[in-house]
Amino acid sequence: MALSNCKQCGKLFLRQKSAYCRDCQAANDEYYFELRRYIKAHPNSTMLEIHEKTGIPLAKLLELQRQDYAPFGA
């Protein structure tokens, strides 16, 4: 474990695996599960539609896609 700053909020925390503190990681996990639920129900949605219907910030959707967590195609 190393002392690190959270990639999202900047808070100092003991880093184990994630670059995010516990609170930000929990929020990111919730975004991920919300995204999966929405795409399962609406498989042909665009990123903009997903953002408008779920409230997940576009920047977070792009980040999830870059990290290959977003279950939608190119």
Residue type, 19: A
Buried b (16+ CB within 10 A) or exposed e, 10-47: eeebebeeeebbeebbeebeebbeebeebbeeeeebee
Distance, in Å, from the CA atom of 38 to the CA atom of 52, rounded to the nearest integer, reads: 11
Q: What range defines the domain where residue 40 resides?
A: 21-74
Q: What are the tens digits of pLDDT across the range 6-57? A: 999 999 999 988 899 999 999 999 999 999 999 999 999 999 999 999 999 9
Provide the domain count of the chain. 1
Looking at the domain assignment, is residue 14 inside a domain? Answer: no
Looking at the domain assignment, is residue 1 inside a domain? Answer: no
pLDDT interval class at 66 (50, 70, 90): confident
Residue 70 scores a pLDDT above 80? no
Residue 73 scores a pLDDT above 60? no
Looking at the domain assignment, is residue 38 inside a domain? Answer: yes
Q: What is the pTM of this model?
A: 0.77
